[in-house]
């Protein structure tokens, strides 16, 4: 399968430091989206990305997809308006358990979307996916029946509250084993997205996304590069990080960016 970058965002906004470990500022997000727009990037839906991976569609160079996890209120207040301004599609992965509620992260509360706001996203043309297992990872050992039960309940909630087909799942981290993947497929799901590195070859059961969690623009340029895409899920990645070769990637990316500008 031929892969394209699938970007993963979490919090976007001016949150307290406890909530920004995986987040970026609004100004950084705006700069990144504007950069993609002005530098000829082709932002596609997950449907297009999967069709490209399957060989049913051929996307041009500089194609990538955007996903946002969590279902936080910043989605409707800040992220969606910027994406609409540049006419970029995106998929929002939400955990139905938290819709209309507040999540506690590192002792701090963060407000989530309401169902009317989720429906508003759909009306704006965005795609909704399921952030499975209540937003918890499935690394190491997990209770498969419990995860299946949570998925079943979450899908029932989505079907009850929004009139749209759910084609994609996301796990915060981890790749489902074969039995869980078969169950997920039985629910009409095309692919599962997770966080890289997956440390395994690319499969529809676990497509590693590139997490954007730093305001530094050269790092962003590195993460959307072909070089980063090539290495992101390979087992050698841990050695790249250990010997700080990723910093070299950052420097090379910054140099290439300067030449383009």
Q: Map out the domains of the chain as residue ranges.
A: 6-215
Residue 224 token pair: 């959307």
pLDDT score, position 46: 97
| Residues written for the chain | 261
Residue 49 is predicted with a pLDDT of 97
Nearest to 84 by CA among 119, 27, 43, 118: 43
Q: According to the model, what pLDDT value does residue 231 have?
A: 76
Residue 242 has a pLDDT of 54
pTM of the model: 0.89
Under CATH, domain 6-215 is a member of which superfamily? Answer: Glycoside hydrolase/deacetylase (3.20.20.370)
Which residue in 124, 132, 135 sits closest to 75, CA to CA?
A: 124
The token pair at 83 is: 């994406």
Residues with pLDDT less than 50, the chain? 243
**Other CB atoms closer than 10 Å to residue 77's CB: what's the count?**
15
Sign of CA dihedral 173, 114, 149, 204: negative
Tell me, what's the pLDDT at 237? 58
Distance, CA of 125 to CA of 67 (rounded, Å)? 14
């Amino acid at each position: 399968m031929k892969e394209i970058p699938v970007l993963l965002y979490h919090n976007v906004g001016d949150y307290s430091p406890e909530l920004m470990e995986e987040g970026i500022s609004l100004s950084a997000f705006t700069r990144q989206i504007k950069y993609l727009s002005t530098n000829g990037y082709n932002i596609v839906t997950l449907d297009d990305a999967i069709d490209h991976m399957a060989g049913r569609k051929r996307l041009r160079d500089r194609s990538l997809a955007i996903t946002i996890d969590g279902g936080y209120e910043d989605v409707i207040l800040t992220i969606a308006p910027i994406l609409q301004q540049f006419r970029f599609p995106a998929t929002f992965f939400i955990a139905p358990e938290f819709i209309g509620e507040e999540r506690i992260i590192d002792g701090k509360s963060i407000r989530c979307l309401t169902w009317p706001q989720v429906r508003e996203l759909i009306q704006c043309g965005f795609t909704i996916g399921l952030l499975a297992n209540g937003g918890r990872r499935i690394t190491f050992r997990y209770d498969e029946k419990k995860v299946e039960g949570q998925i079943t309940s979450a899908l029932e909630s989505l079907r009850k509250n929004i009139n749209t087909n759910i084609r994609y799942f996301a796990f915060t981290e981890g790749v489902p084993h074969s039995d869980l993947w078969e169950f997920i497929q039985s629910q009409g799901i095309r692919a599962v997205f997770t966080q890289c590195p997956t440390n395994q070859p690319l499969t529809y059961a676990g497509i590693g996304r590139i997490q954007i969690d730093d305001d530094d623009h050269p790092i962003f340029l590195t993460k959307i590069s072909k070089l980063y895409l090539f290495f992101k899920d390979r087992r050698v990645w841990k050695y790249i990080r250990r010997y700080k070769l990723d910093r070299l990637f950052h420097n090379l990316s910054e140099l290439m960016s300067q030449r383009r500008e």
